[in-house]
Amino acid sequence: MTLPTPNVSFEFFPPQSLEASFRLWDTLGTLAPLAPEFVSVTYGAGGTTRDLTHDAVKTIHGNYGVNVAAHLTCVDATREDTLAISDSYAQAGVTRIVALRGDPPKGASGFRPHPDGFASSVELVEALAQTGKFDIAVGAYPEPHPEAADLQACVDYLKRKVDAGATTAITQFFFETSSFLRFRDACAAAGITAQIIPGILPVNNWTRVRGFASRCGAVIPTWLDDAYAAAIRDGREQLLSTALCAELCTELLEEGVKDLHFYTLNSPDLTRDVCAALGVTPRVTLAEVA
Ligand code: FAD
């Protein structure tokens, strides 16, 4: 079976140092030629990168010829401040927002709404939708979010976000295709018609990714942990990552998925290699080669 070439999108985080800025521009220089549907820029946990996110979004929007989605969270901000940020995006021509409740700052026990802020992602989506200025994406959790009672609670909550005005959901990363398919089926059964884009994490560093997974509720199957133990021992971690990530994406495409969202962690190589394996290669115009 010949698989269709997927639409891809890439997530970056805003740089916090000069060196990190160069790394991000290098990452963009590698991945922007793959003609992504959009790229997105995260908003640091606890709202810590508010200004950096804002600057990075505007700079990418103005210089790279790609659609940019700005992440926005409810953490530690009044409604007025949050809507002022979204308004300045609209004025700059940025019309995609990834609307999230957000993670609390490091060390905090859990999410505590600002007294004058949005109390949940649903409230944020509602307010953004009311402006009529944005295409709104939200987070989704194929393996239950740590605060959710079970998978159905995540499906029900996603339904509330879609009913409030979200048009797209981007999932947390996962390592087994069956997790995504189970979630997609449950969403369909709940009447969710918004597009659900799988979030794909190419593994640059297994030890780091294990840490992310334990914090966000992503399941690590035993076979995967064993495979990385052997690959790290043999100095083949990157090779394993490319092969497994390309296989995961291929299985998703075989199941009818058309869009893939890559968590790049501002390191372009693995994402570029996986995209190449899926047939997503740099688009070179005739003017550039003639
Ligand atoms: P929500 O959907 O609001 O909540 C997650 C789950 O918790 C729900 O499915 C539901 O089961 C339960 N829940 C939450 N609130 C309620 C409620 N009031 N009533 C009942 N159940 C509830 N974090 C950042 O800080 N910055 C980012 O830039 C960022 N980008 C992300 C991008 C994506 C694609 C994803 C998937 C996550 C991202 N996160 C980011 C992490 C996210 O902020 C955390 O997972 C956060 O804990 C939940 O935010 P949310 O809006 O996705 O979840």
- Calculate mean pLDDT across residues 267-281: 98
- Calculate mean pLDDT across residues 99-103: 95
pTM for this entry: 0.96
Is residue 91 pLDDT above 90, yes or no? yes
pLDDT at 72: 97
Three-class secondary structure of residue 239 per DSSP: helix
Give me the DSSP letters along 29-76: HHHGGG--SEEEE---GGGTTHHHHHHHHHHHHHHS-S-EEEEEE-TT
3 conformational bin, left if phi > 0, alpha if psi -120 to 50, beta if neither: beta
The rounded distance, in Å, linking the Cα atoms of 238 and 270 is: 8
- Calculate mean pLDDT across residues 243-268: 98
Contact 251, 274 (CB under 8 A): no
pLDDT at 289: 62
Contact 5, 246 (CB under 8 A): no
pLDDT at 188: 98
Q: Which atom of ligand 1 is nearest to the CA of 122?
A: 3
The rounded distance, in Å, linking the Cα atoms of 176 and 250 is: 12
Residue of 151, 224, 161, 207 lying closest to 181 (CA atoms): 151
Using the mean position of ligand 1's atoms as its centre, give its distance from the Cα of residue 157 in Å: 10
Contact 2, 269 (CB under 8 A): no
The rounded distance, in Å, linking the Cα atoms of 94 and 78 is: 21
- Calculate mean pLDDT across residues 146-171: 97
Q: Degrees (nearest 5) of the Cα angle 168, 256, 177?
A: 85
pLDDT at 109: 79
- Calculate mean pLDDT across residues 43-61: 88
Contact 197, 171 (CB under 8 A): yes
pLDDT at 26: 96
Using the mean position of ligand 1's atoms as its centre, give its distance from the Cα of residue 100 in Å: 6
Write down the mean pLDDT value for the chain: 95
Contact 136, 94 (CB under 8 A): no
Contact 98, 109 (CB under 8 A): no
Is residue 153 pLDDT above 90, yes or no? yes
Is residue 288 pLDDT above 90, yes or no? no
Residue pLDDT, tens place only, 5-23? 999 999 999 999 999 999 9
Q: Is the CB of 9 under 6 A from ligand 1?
A: no
Name the percent of the chain lying above pLDDT 70: 98
Which residue has the least CA distance to atom 39 on ligand 1?
102
* Ligand 1 probe mutation, 38, 49, 100, 147, most atoms within 8 A of CB: 100
pLDDT at 254: 98
The rounded distance, in Å, linking the Cα atoms of 288 and 60 is: 21
Q: Is 59 exposed, middle or buried (0-12, 13-18, 19+ CB in 10 A)?
A: middle
Is residue 284 pLDDT above 80, yes or no? no
The rounded distance, in Å, linking the Cα atoms of 86 and 165 is: 15
Confidence of residue 46 (pLDDT cuts 50, 70, 90): confident
Give me the DSSP letters along 107-153: T-SS----TTS-SSHHHHHHHHHHHT--EEEEEE-SS--TTSSSHHH
Q: Fill in the amino acid letter for 35.
A: A
Name the percent of the chain lying above pLDDT 90: 88
Q: Is the CB of 12 under 6 A from ligand 1?
A: no
